A and B are shown apart, each in its own frame.
Chain A
């Protein structure tokens, strides 16, 4: 077992454990922090795969943006004094069954698929390549995604305004 493999399994275990925490935790805040852990783990795994820019973006946007936003939302949607915020779960058994079935299906696909593994490439910094791609071939999707973000921004502002009753 090479050190890479051990690192992989460690990272994987951390991520899965955090994800578990997200899934089963009763406190919503605990879930949020477990999600942070998961996102950190995923970022680490990205870096493990040689996607250094992606990992950084993951940390910046997902953890620093989305997760913080979620925490804000949590705080805004519960009374300040109410620390024990409910995060009940219902229907665990049917969900577990379905989840299990899906997992089994996916695992079967994974194991039976005839994976074609190509030659490994050396790990190189990817930032420049991604930058070139965004402003080259993938320019239109990039711009459209920007537009989407703009609309989402406006939409979020509009949606979260308090209704003014005449």
Chain B
């Protein structure tokens, strides 16, 4: 671990987070947006685990990451079910096409 400072880990997480953000903001495919969200979650978990490691609280950070994974699974399941429902209603998962609720 020498030479790899905590800042590097944070910057790495930041890059992943920003890429995930970019993916969320630009994608029109609903599944693409969900993938972006997975990226963000992963970035956040990585950040926590890294900081915990450097704070000698390794176990706590990992617990956090495990919880995140669990919830990400639940969220992905539901999200994908919703996408399937959208597909059934709209015949497409282009989020720009699902603007029936526009004012």
> Which residues of A come within 8 Å of B, CB atoms?
1-2, 4-5, 8, 12, 15-16, 19-20, 22-23, 28, 31-32, 35, 38-39, 42, 45-46, 49-51, 53-54, 57-58, 61-62, 65-66, 69-70, 72-74, 76-77, 85-92, 94-96, 98-100, 102-103, 106-107, 109-111, 115-121, 126, 129-130, 133-134, 138, 141, 145, 148-149, 151-153, 155-160, 162-163
Contact = CB atoms under 8 A, between A and B. Distances in A.
29 contacts: A2-B3, A12-B8, A16-B12, A31-B35, A45-B12, A46-B46, A62-B38, A62-B73, A66-B38, A66-B73, A76-B84, A87-B29, A89-B26, A89-B28, A90-B28, A92-B26, A95-B21, A106-B11, A109-B10, A118-B54, A118-B56, A121-B58, A126-B59, A130-B66, A133-B63, A145-B71, A156-B80, A156-B81, A163-B88
Interface in B10-56: 10-12, 14-23, 25-29, 31-32, 34-36, 38-39, 42, 45-46, 49-50, 53-56
A103 B17 CA distance: 8
A49 B89 CA distance: 45
A73 to B, nearest CB: 4
Contacts of B70: 61, 145, 148-149
A90 B27 CA distance: 7
A19 B21 CA distance: 11
A2 B21 contact: no
Contacts of B55: 116-118
A77 B15 contact: no
B92 to A, nearest CB: 8
A99 B74 contact: no
B80 A111 contact: no
Contacts of A102: 17-18, 21
A95 B22 contact: yes
A52 to B, nearest CB: 9
B71 A5 contact: no
Given A16-B19, A70-B76, A126-B59, 13 more contacts: A2-B2, A35-B35, A39-B38, A54-B66, A70-B80, A95-B21, A107-B14, A109-B10, A115-B7, A133-B63, A155-B77, A159-B81, A160-B81
